[in-house]
Amino acid sequence: MPSSPTVSAASRARLADIIFARSFGYGKITLASGKESNFYFDMKPTMLDPEGASLIAHHLFAAIADAGADYVGGLEMGAVPITGGVCQLSFEMGKPIRGFFVRKQAKGHGAKKLVEGLTKTESLSGKKIIIVEDVTTSGESAYKAIESCREAGADVILVVSLVDRQDGAEEFFLSKNVPFKSLYQASEFLSRS
């Protein structure tokens, strides 16, 4: 099996084209942070596009493969398809990384867990984890996942976002001593319009 996925400037440009065509738009919206904006990223059409999903998995895996993570995951809903793609690719590349996701609220029935995807015998305690996110604005949403993982005993070693809206997340994570990187920045898409 190959040891790492192939990522190139051409595949990065192709993923940017898909994001621009399927997930970027203009229009007045209210962000999860409560701020209003005149542009948006709805990453679901890209994450659920066959080529988009494959490129996302390859680029994210390339960004995290050598970080030494035991688990990758993040806050529902945006992190769920990303996590699945990265987990599958990590296995195919011979560097398996398990996945999980954090619910915004614990289920009112069943096991009533906040962190999902682990068996009864698995735990995040003592594990190195990477939080993934589709779009990062202020960083607060990803930080909810970080707090839940830390409460479970995990060591959060990195946050990786597909797109950073450049609305303060980088500074926020710096203030929290959490390494942060993104595959793209909003300015890359705004400059196309």
User: Domains in the chain, start-ordered, CATH in brackets?
Assistant: 9-190 (3.40.50.2020)
**Whole-prediction pTM:** 0.91
181 SS3 class? strand
Q: What percent of the chain has pLDDT over 70?
A: 92
Which tens digit of pLDDT belongs to each residue from 161-171?
999 999 999 99
Could you tell me if 27 and 16 are in contact, meaning their C-beta atoms sit under 8 angstroms apart? no
Tokens of 102: 């954090």
Apex CA 155: angle with CA 119 and CA 7, to 5°? 85
pLDDT digits (tens, 9 = 90+) for 69-113: 999 999 888 899 999 999 999 999 999 999 999 987 666 655 556
Q: Is the peptide bond before 47 cis (omega within 30 degrees of 0)?
A: no
